Chains A and B, each alone.
Chain A
Amino acid sequence: MITEARAVWLLMRRGLNEVLRVPGAAIPGILAPTIFVLGFSVAFGGLAGLAGFTTDDYVSFVLPVGLLQGAGFSGGAIGVNLARDLEMGRFDRLLLSPTSRPSLLVGTILSASLRAMLPAGLVLIVALVAGASITNVPLLVLAMIITALFAIVAALYGVSLALNLQTQSAAPLMQAGMFAVVLISSSYAARPQLAPWLETIANINPVTYVLELTRLAFVDHEDVWSAIWPGVVALLGLILALAVVVALSLRRVITE
């Protein structure tokens, strides 16, 4: 058990090392969410002027999109790194180590949650400077926890692709996949203000509920609890479902 915990910790540290040792590769993923939040604000800020829009503070409205995008990019990077390890045979060498095989992935996946705090911190600071507001501190803490957990969702998705495709050229798919599910939700406007067909998609998309849970920290909501529980259920469901996919993919890689 102690060996596993140590392996998990070492692999978490290894996952974070890239940020420090190859900053050129990590910086775009850290900057991108801030670019998107500022970009959405300047480009679509006019939407807040539409009748019935939930808030006139559009920066606060899109800030959670930036938090989840940052988590998505962080998780995607974990998938890209694993694909590189698989391509170069490093993962095969790790399989020879005297630790359980799932723990080889657990550490890598968990490192995404820590890594996600870098883009989250940056986008939060820049958005606050740009005029975003916080509804209350406990909800902000909850939003950051949700961001960290969503990074695990993204890492699980990236890792499952890496295990199945085993090539770094899958990197755009890892990044674009999470980007897409975050955007096709209530990212630009609240669900009732979306076109009916997009509202239907957003209702089915579990990330919508995670986004709305994160948004509680920045936009006032009449019934906070009614936004919390669907978000938590959606998040845990995503983690569970993707963890099963990763476990099955890992078993297939080991068998092969």
Chain B
Amino acid sequence: MTAELRVVWLLAIRSVRQALRRPQMLAPVLLLPSVFLVANTGAAGRAPSLPGFPPVPAFLDFELPGIILLASTLAAVPGGSALALDVERGFLDRFFAAPMPRAIAVTGRLAGIGLVGALAALAFLIVGLVFGTQVQSGPLGAVVVVVLAGLTAAAFGGLGAAIAIGTGQASYVTGSFPLVFLLLFFSSAFFPTELLREPAAAIATGNPLTWIVDGLRSPILNSSIQLDTTAAALGGVGILGLIGVGSAYLALQRRLEASR
């Protein structure tokens, strides 16, 4: 078990290093959310004056958790692309020859995606602090935000991994990123649920990403960590994980069966 955990850790670190060594791979995780942060806060900065908008110190305080969620879900794109390249270049096949449970290849990659997501969350949290956002619940609240973002990235990374293993082509993984936005637009990531147009508002209410972003937003906007909101966010992560990670392991199973 210890040896397996060590392999998971090594694969996770390899995944993070791959992302750091090729800055272009980090573009979706850092550049796209930065662009959204700039565009959303610059264009919709007056939105808190709209009737029905929840009271917030500034629009940035409302938007920052949505951007952190965007960064952590987009971490699946470079992670998945790198896994697809592993498939293309035969690394995965060589790994399967090792005396290790084969699922570890996916687990290690997901752990790496989780780490990238957590690091991205930390980076955006620092950006927010620089531009005036205050984490009202203090350092513990900041830890909750980073951990939740990391778990979301790993859970969502399962979908990227499933596409990577299923197709073995990085272009399919890269091409899947609009789906991330589809899920986010129909959540309260960028605008309050109350002000979304129907049917988006109804969909957002049941969207696990809404629960997660509420869990990310709560420590930033409230002076204490609200356990019910955090629990709902973890529930959202659980649902995503079940779908994402489950799909990845199923894809792996199918690949192994096909190669027999």
| A25 neighbours in B (Cβ, 8 Å) | 169, 171-172, 175
Closest residue on chain A to residue B32 by CB atoms:
A176
Kindly state the separation between the CA atoms of A179 and B182 in the bound complex, as whole angstroms: 16
Chain A interface: which of B37-45, B104-112, B134-142? B37-45
Residue pair A45, B197 in contact (C-beta under 8 Å)? yes
Residue pair B35, A180 in contact (C-beta under 8 Å)? yes
Residue pair B42, A197 in contact (C-beta under 8 Å)? yes
Chain B interface: which of A143-151, A164-172, A214-222? A164-172
Q: Within residues 168 to 187 of chain A, which ones have a CB less than 8 A from any CB in chain B?
A: 168-173, 175-177, 179-180, 183-184, 187
Kindly state the separation between the CA atoms of A197 and B43 in the bound complex, as whole angstroms: 10
A residues contacting the other copy or chain, number (CB 8 A): 49
Closest residue on chain A to residue B23 by CB atoms:
A173
Chain A interface: which of B1-9, B184-192, B221-229, B245-253? B184-192
Q: Is residue B67 contacting chain A, with contact meaning CB distance below 8 A?
A: no
Residue pair B35, A195 in contact (C-beta under 8 Å)? no
Q: Is residue A28 contacting chain B, with contact meaning CB distance below 8 A?
A: yes
Residue pair A172, B181 in contact (C-beta under 8 Å)? no
Chain B interface: which of A46-54, A90-98, A110-118, A236-244? A46-54
Kindly state the separation between the CA atoms of A80 and B32 in the bound complex, as whole angstroms: 18
Distance in Å: Cβ of A189 to nearest Cβ of chain B: 5
Residue pair A31, B178 in contact (C-beta under 8 Å)? yes
Q: Is residue A139 contacting chain B, with contact meaning CB distance below 8 A?
A: no
| B167 neighbours in A (Cβ, 8 Å) | 24
Q: Is residue A188 contacting chain B, with contact meaning CB distance below 8 A?
A: yes
Distance in Å: Cβ of A168 to nearest Cβ of chain B: 6
Residue pair A183, B36 in contact (C-beta under 8 Å)? yes
Residue pair A43, B176 in contact (C-beta under 8 Å)? no
Residue pair A188, B43 in contact (C-beta under 8 Å)? yes
Residue pair B175, A29 in contact (C-beta under 8 Å)? yes
Kindly state the separation between the CA atoms of A25 and B41 in the bound complex, as whole angstroms: 32
Q: A35-B178, A187-B43 are in contact. Are A46 and B170 (CB under 8 A)?
A: no
Residues of chain A at the chain B interface (Cβ within 8 Å) = 22, 24-29, 31-32, 35-36, 38-47, 49-50, 80, 165, 167-173, 175-177, 179-180, 183-184, 187-189, 193-195, 197-199, 201
7 A-B residue pairs with CB within 8 Å: A42-B196, A43-B190, A172-B28, A179-B32, A187-B39, A188-B39, A199-B42
